Structure 1
Amino acid sequence: MRMDLNFLGCGSAFNPLYGNTSAYFTNKDQLYVIDGGESVFLKLYQKELLKKYAGITIMVTHMHADHVGSLPSIISYCYYVLGKKVTVIYPEKSLWILLGLMGIDPDIYIPVESSLFTAEGLKVWAVSVKHADDISCFGYIIEFAGEKIYYSGDSYEIPKDVLDGFYKREISTIYQDTTEFTSDHRSHCPLEELEECIPADLRRNVFCMHFTTDFTEKLKKKGFGYIQSNCR
């Protein structure tokens, strides 16, 4: 069985027309969401996903606004309107401090400050990644339905342990934030570097996301998958 993520957006912070990059999957009556950027609450609301599922868990990769901008609204809506407490996963206490500064009472959601999370049929590991010097960032390895995938969050390189697992096919799919060109200010993985570390025969299992510009034709020619067509 292949675990496919459903995307709510695939854009970078500076490409709001594509929506903030965020994805979700479900298991029975449970909804699992990765990141809650500025556009995510609207997408969840429009799809009525917050109403439909009994349990809601949000995994946060880091605290830039395009990844947590609507998280307070999601938590408040679920608690005060739907009568549900959202579970929020993040490995550091800094997120709870931020939510407190944004007026979110710690009693209205369930914080999970851990690098490991388990639930029925699900295991999630947080992986420290490199994105910005002034903020902690995490990718997630998600094991579900007998399959492991890796979701990068924002990172300018793929961690060695993740690549090794991917080469051995222990990790079946990589979702990687990708930028078309390299630059002196490294924050997302340049396509050129992705080409160097992903063999041609495995590129169909790597899905690029978090687009500032549209370079899907280039990705097609090089054999990579991409998340975009359903996010505009």
Structure 2
Amino acid sequence: MNAMQPILTLTDVHKAFGETQIIRGVDLELRAGERHALIGPNGAGKSTVFHLISGHYVPTSGRIHFDGHDIQGASPQRINRLGLARSFQITNIFPKLSVYENLRLAVMRRHGVQNTLWRFIGSYPKVREETERLLEQVRLAARRDAIAGELSYSEQRSMEIAMALASDPQVILLDEPMAGMSHEETDYAVELIKQVTQGRSLLIVEHDMDVVFSLCDRISVLVYGQVIATGTPDEIRNNQKVKEAYLGEEVAA
């Protein structure tokens, strides 16, 4: 796919819960191979957009097009099989299993052997090889036998990114991956995300503007359920409407 072509497109997407309109006509385009941030104030609807893209919510109206497929209303499992994976604001792991076991389960799902008895899993060398590769890719090989619930927060988020990568997706959605991290942990996570998204498309929700401006090729700003601007980091930084609605003069400067 041409790097300028959209791999994911939202067209006039609406979502209402009863009489309450949350998403009010969102148009959004993620290009193949780009890193794209969706930013906006709390309550703007960013996580709702992620839920709509990943199949956890069904749009009230509008179209969501992913890699040649209309996916509005499709199940999360089907969307994942088509090549889209996501993480959540809250770390989503099996806390009593080891790092290796968590990642192996994610790889097993991709190969359709998640219901195989564990004593027979040794007969699937590809599962073992891919699990080992993921551990190396997210720099957790030294922590493979650690219990997931005992990892540091940043290590848990790294593991969750690995679990998203287990399906070998074309598009990765990350929902506030830096939340709760120290400055040092954030720097580590940014470099990790840069590495693992090479050759993939990334759509990220993130409140840390330093991360957004340094990581992303383009940025879309969501305010009250509508995208008010899309552009490069410099274009968004200097957009007067965005300054007034979200960034503020001081941050934008």
- What TM bracket, shorter-length normalisation? 0.3 to 0.5
More helix by share: 2
Give the greater-gyration-radius structure (CA).
2
For normalisation by structure 1, the TM-score amounts to 0.33
For normalisation by structure 2, the TM-score amounts to 0.31
